[in-house]
Amino acid sequence: MKSSRIIRRRFFRELWQGLVIVWPAVSGLLLMMPLIGLLVAKVEGWPLTDGLYFSFVTGLTVGYGDLVPKSGFARVLAMLLGIGGIVLTGLVVAVAVEALRAALSGEDRG
């Protein structure tokens, strides 16, 4: 029981340290995605709330298909949203895996 608590604490400490390192990229992606969604909404004539919804559904690579951009420019923006979502997910997963590895091996980066 005690060792799992120690590993958990190490994991969250390592996770936090890793997220601080990649924070500029993560925050940039988190800011870019809703802005692109709003731009798609403007181009397509959708309500702004639909643009935000579209950006999160596309960025999370769920893609329900209920909102589909018709113009070529909006489709390119949608591709950027999807790629941004994949990069964001990859960054967070990479940091989490490294934090788990460090926590289990007993290493400290900081």
CATH architecture for segment(s) 2-105: Orthogonal Bundle (1.10)
Query: What is the pLDDT at residue 3?
Result: 87
Taking the chain (110 residues) in runs of 10, the rounded mean pLDDT of each run is 85 96 96 97 98 95 93 97 96 97 79
pLDDT of residue 1: 52
pLDDT of residue 106: 81
* The pLDDT of residue 49: 97
pTM: 0.84
Nearest CA-CA partner of 84 in 40, 46, 45, 48: 40
Domain definitions of the chain by residue range: 2-105
Q: What is the pLDDT of residue 110?
A: 56
